[in-house]
Chains A and B, each alone.
Chain A
């Protein structure tokens, strides 16, 4: 790989504090981190180490209490709520542990949701969504409702939905946490494939085995970086 890779998500002295009554809790205690384009990063650590908080900030669902977060080339750390929504819709793709599909919508409609909020015309949105569904191997299940699918299939819908807006960063929160080992392995293979296609992936997990799939492992402890190791 080339040396001059662009930074795609950069945290600068990011702190996140919560007020619990009179006590102030540091969820993140000043983190500096640079994630490069095309990297496959695993964020690991014991529960309560701040990895969810970090993922929320990286995913623009939450703002840092102080410090900066530069996503692509814009500083999103002080953005208004609705602007953050726009950033999420245009630049990010989310994959959740419990899939988080909308139950009353069909597979294809679920995949289309991010495009719907961007106001992409219905025909184009349908066309792209069908492409994504075939890409994750669900081309034949377009009109099924989520409850008619297995866990592995639901997570595939989740991945297709995360890809539909062609995001610059894919954020995954324990994507195999609810799956049996076989489906989990299939999902991880899909991530490897996406990585090979050049997608930037940030995945939160506590499973070392899964961590080995990634290219870089970041460990957190008590809201601070413990280690940052690039595999091979």
Chain B
């Protein structure tokens, strides 16, 4: 025997040198049927790119939702006054004062009994007509506290918010929302000017920045016409009774506070404190004329929804990958049948079962990995295209492509095993006889 044949032999089909040659051989065999290989690969390409694109769209959507809620403040508990339903039916018939909603005492009680509550922002909201000489606009007057912008994460475009001193002194100062400022002062800078509400004049000391309240992001959106004044001033100027005209009859409402924002020091305690507050308020509000909103809970449920959504999208995409895998298996089975003779030759020349299995498995994995790589490339481009052509936000996280590529590889192995085993277990005599 030629002694060279014995030098440094390594018949393990998984050794790096052998594997490299098998991969090259696999590429050659696939290249022999270029069109067929390409069409087979397309199944995986679409599967992988749909996984990535769907995850990116889902991720973008849930990011948007969470961002909106986060702007409400995840440490906040929002209380609102609601008109109880039974009082509404009475009001249509006669005019008398309906009294409902949160009262100042409620907030005192909350502040007094619950530790960990740091800031309480009470708001009174009244719809009024605002005048600047002959310019007029309808807006909500918000009676609030000096630390309101900090709580709502609002920034001022110009001027400043009112101070504690101005609040204590019940001064007639106001801050305009971004949309009402140009409506009342189309040509001039509103700072330092005065606006009229009913019979009182208020000095404009600030304008809220448009950017800080994006449309629809929170109730402080820039498209809302609002005028902020100190709560103390509001109580002094407008009293506690509001007069509303509705369907021909007047309706008098007495609402002390329309809204209150309670900030909790520790985010972990938010939900617990919300329950306590609800309990305290329920004791004094038998009619249930308030509602309680916890942005953190909304955030949680939005996250939950996003997860469900992602699972749904993920499974749809996974099914398309599965279909791609079945396509690969189909082609590999056809290929095995077609190459029966080649398998017979290789077996006759000394190929063992594992050599044949390795060869066909590598071809399948090459198909699916090529498809996976192309799919990742297309799958990253598609969300970017969606993002730039539509308003929809998309986020490609690194997990998406990694997940999709891994799945495509696994699909290749799983769907490659059966054809490969079938190839390896052929009887060499039969295989050689195959035409």
Q: Which residues on A are within 8 Å of B, measured CB to CB?
A: 56, 59, 61-62, 81-82, 85-86, 88-90, 94, 96, 100-105, 113-122, 124, 127-128, 161, 165-166
Contact = CB atoms under 8 A, between A and B. Distances in A.
A52 B88 CA distance: 102
Contact of A116 (B21, B32, B342): B21
Interface stretch (B11-19, B265-273, B392-400): B11-19
Nearest to A168: B1
A25 to B, nearest CB: 15
A102 B342 contact: yes
B4 A89 contact: no
Interface string B1-41: 11011011111100101100100010011001000000000
Nearest to B345: A100
Contact of A90 (B29, B341, B350): B350
B355 interface: yes
Contacts of A117: 11, 346, 349-352, 355
B349 A82 contact: no
A103 B342 CA distance: 9
A115 to B, nearest CB: 7
19 contacts: A61-B347, A61-B348, A61-B429, A82-B352, A90-B350, A100-B344, A102-B345, A105-B28, A113-B346, A117-B352, A118-B11, A119-B10, A119-B12, A121-B7, A121-B8, A124-B5, A127-B4, A128-B5, A165-B350
A94 B353 contact: no
Contacts of B342: 102-103
B387 interface: no
A122 B17 contact: yes
Contact of A94 (B10, B12, B348, B352): B348
B3 to A, nearest CB: 10
A104 B346 CA distance: 13
Contacts of B348: 59, 61, 88, 94, 100
Given A88-B349, A117-B351, 16 more contacts: A82-B353, A85-B353, A86-B350, A88-B348, A100-B432, A102-B346, A113-B345, A113-B346, A114-B349, A119-B9, A119-B12, A121-B10, A122-B21, A128-B2, A165-B350, A166-B2
B428 interface: yes
A59 B349 CA distance: 10
Contact of B341 (A62, A100, A166): A100
B29 A104 contact: yes
A102 B347 CA distance: 12
10 closest pairs, A vs B, by CB? A89-B350, A119-B11, A117-B350, A119-B10, A166-B2, A82-B352, A85-B352, A114-B349, A119-B9, A100-B345
Interface in B382-408: none
Nearest to A94: B348
Given A104-B29, A119-B11, A165-B5, A56 B429 contact: yes
A117 B355 CA distance: 8
SS class, residues of chain B in contact with chain A: helix
Contacts of A128: 2, 4-5
B311 to A, nearest CB: 44
Contacts of B432: 61, 96, 100
Nearest to B22: A116
Interface string B120-157: 00000000000000000000000000000000000000
A124 B353 contact: no
A86 B352 contact: yes
A104 B5 contact: no
B5 A118 contact: yes
B28 A104 contact: yes
Nearest to B29: A104
Nearest to A84: B428
Contacts of A103: 32, 342
Contacts of A61: 347-348, 428-429, 432
A104 B7 contact: no
Nearest to A101: B345
A137 B25 CA distance: 26
A82 B347 CA distance: 9
B7 A124 contact: yes
A100 B348 CA distance: 10
Nearest to A162: B349
Contacts of A161: 349
A89 to B, nearest CB: 2
Nearest to A62: B429
B98 to A, nearest CB: 89
B5 A115 contact: yes
A231 B43 CA distance: 64
B350 A88 contact: yes
B6 to A, nearest CB: 9
A109 B7 CA distance: 20
A120 B5 contact: yes
Given A82-B352, A104-B29, A118 B9 contact: yes
A115 B4 CA distance: 11
B92 to A, nearest CB: 88
Interface string B315-351: 0000000000000000000000000011011111111
Nearest to B348: A94
B350 A118 contact: yes
A114 B346 CA distance: 8
B425 to A, nearest CB: 9
B351 A85 contact: yes
Given A90-B350, A114-B349, A119 B7 contact: no
A81 B5 contact: no
A100 B342 CA distance: 8
Contacts of A102: 342, 345-346
Nearest to B6: A120
Nearest to B7: A124
Contacts of A88: 347-350
A161 B346 CA distance: 12
Contacts of B10: 119, 121
B271 to A, nearest CB: 65
A153 to B, nearest CB: 18
